Amino acid sequence: MDDGNDALARAIGDRVRDARTTRRLTLDQVAASAGVSRRMLVNVEQGSANPSIGTLLRLAGALGVGLPALVEPPRAETLSVVRDGDAPTLWSTPAGGYGRLVASAGSHDVTELWEWMLAPGDVRESDSHSPGTRELIHVLEGSITVTADGRRVTLAAGDAVAFPGDVPHAYANPNGERALFSLAVSDPGAPS
């Protein structure tokens, strides 16, 4: 991990540990509830692991918090600005693809805004989210293929799609150029 990823891993570890101890949960309880090994949870809390988005979502669910509570900097203001380059990168591929959580709404329902870039050939599969979750995608550059609930659609720059996020879904770039898109996730079942 580089310095930025090290700092993010440590911050996530601190937040996971704080959420667990505040709720008076043991490592074993959280690990079992999240479906991860105790060793993985210890590594996350120590900041020595770079957990996948799926692992972070399972930990957030086991702790009763939304994903932004684990990965975003604390906010003291009602106006929260994230400057270019400051959003945490929560996944990346060897080809250069990435997913950055650029903003979230601190409301009863968790709403997240992501910047995604898929390099040529990148595929990102996602597990089902909480019941009622919706996803919105707006392609800014290139084209992608979105698969959700057994249906597949190809989107070009300027195209948008809305679909249920509570079913297995995937994003792919089968093309020879990078694809850049915004992804909004609204999860009414996740605690804020």
Q: Determine the CATH number of domain 89-187.
A: 2.60.120.10
Q: For residue range 150-186, what is the model confidence (pLDDT) as tens digits?
A: 899 999 999 999 999 889 999 999 999 999 999 998 8
3-class secondary structure for 70-85? HHCCCCCCCCCCCCCC
Q: What is the pTM of this model?
A: 0.62
CA distance 68 to 48: 20
Residue 14 tokens read as 């601190």
State percent of the chain over pLDDT 90: 41
The listed range with the strongest mean pLDDT (64-73, 108-117, 129-138, 141-150) is 141-150
Domains 3-71 and 89-187 share a fold: no
Q: Determine the CATH number of domain 3-71.
A: 1.10.260.40
Domain range summary for the chain, segments of one domain joined by +: 3-71, 89-187
Q: Which of 129, 127, 73 is nearest to 103 (CA)?
A: 73
Q: For residue range 21-47, what is the model confidence (pLDDT) as tens digits?
A: 888 889 999 999 999 999 999 999 998
Residue 67 has a pLDDT of 78
Residue 73 has a pLDDT of 61
Between residues 154 and 99, the one the model is more confident about: 154
Residue 192 has a pLDDT of 46
